[in-house]
Amino acid sequence: MNSKFIVIEGLEGAGKTTARDKVVETLSELGVKEMVFTREPGGTPLAEKLRDLMLEVNATDEEHVTDKAELLLFYAARVQLVETVIKPSLTRGAWVIGDRHDLSTQAYQGGGRGFDAQLLQTLRTAVLGNFAPDLTLYLDVMPDVGLRRARARGALDRIEQESLDFFNRTRARYLSLAQQDSRIITVDAMQPLEDVSANIRAVITRWFQGQA
């Protein structure tokens, strides 16, 4: 089977790291030998610097990142990662497992920030063309629950400090986009951990077998 690009998406506190571990375990059992892991924003030296600009700026800084600058920084980091890590890995036969990709921008900047969907699509096409994940797992969690989990992990970054309304809008956009794309599978991340893991395992196994 050709290499594939699988992405895990969700709000803060949805359990993306745990989900990634289950995806990796399942793929390994199914015979996938080489996997590369990425995160967005970040994943390359340049993209990690852009990540710092986007996420570590706070109210005490002299200059704030505007919403439009944030949007463009996300795409700059993303295309750097795609062109220097993801595509080369896929070309040599490795599977790529990503923590976030373009769906995050469509949801956070489109839903949370309220950017026009046509603008986002224009940017996406200009930067990424027709490149897209083969499968996306969207871990759906209520924003108040996810933020409570995120706070328990430690200090929140700039975006994690947004209002509950921001995350409600982001979740609504995630759900809407997932309904429109068969390559996006929604997993109920409000369930007990063992049930979430079992669902992820079932989704990956069923999808993998369908690719054969």
Confidence band of 50 (pLDDT split at 50, 70, 90):
very high
Pairing, β 95-99 against β 35-39 = parallel
User: What does the pLDDT read at residue 69?
Assistant: 92
Q: Is the pLDDT of residue 78 over 70?
A: yes
Q: Residue 188: pLDDT above 70?
A: yes
- Give the model confidence (pLDDT) of 90-138 as tens digits: 999 999 999 999 999 999 999 999 999 999 999 999 999 999 999 999 9
Report how far residue 149's alpha carbon sits from residue 152's, in angstroms, rounded to the nearest whole number: 5
CATH code of the domain containing 207: 3.40.50.300
Alpha helices in 82-157 (DSSP H): 87-91, 102-107, 117-128, 143-153
| pLDDT tens digits, 151-182 | 888 777 888 889 999 999 999 999 999 999 99
Do the beta carbons of residue 37 and residue 16 sit within 8 Å?
Answer: no
Task: Identify the domain containing residue 99 by its residue range.
Answer: 5-211
Instruction: Please tell me the predicted confidence (pLDDT) of residue 43.
Output: 96
Mean pLDDT of the chain: 94
Q: What is the pTM of this model?
A: 0.94
Which one-letter DSSP state was computed for residue 85? I
Q: Cα dist. 208→86, 136, 204 in Å?
A: 20, 13, 6
For residue 41, say if its preceding peptide bond is cis, omega within 30 degrees of 0. Answer: yes
* Total of domains in the chain: 1
Please give the Cα distance from 162 to 79 (Å, whole number).
25
Token digits of residue 113? 């920030």
Predicted confidence (pLDDT) at residue 48 exceeds the cutoff of 90? yes
CA 68 – CA 88 distance, rounded (Å): 30
60 pLDDT higher than 70: no
pLDDT category, 58, cuts 50, 70, 90?
Answer: low
Q: Is the pLDDT of residue 23 over 90?
A: yes
Q: Calculate mean pLDDT across residues 24-51.
A: 96
Which pLDDT score is estimated for 59?
47
Considering the chain, what percentage of its residues have pLDDT values greater than 90? 85
Cβ atoms of 38 and 99 within 8 Å: the answer is yes
User: Tokens 């710092």 identify what position?
Assistant: 52
Taking 3-state DSSP, the helix, strand and coil percentages for the chain, each rounded to the nearest 5, stand at 55, 15, 30
Please give the helix or strand (H or E) that residue 184 lies within, else none: strand 184-188
Contact of 116 with 105, CB cutoff 8 Å: no
Cα four-point dihedral sign 73, 99, 56, 120:
positive
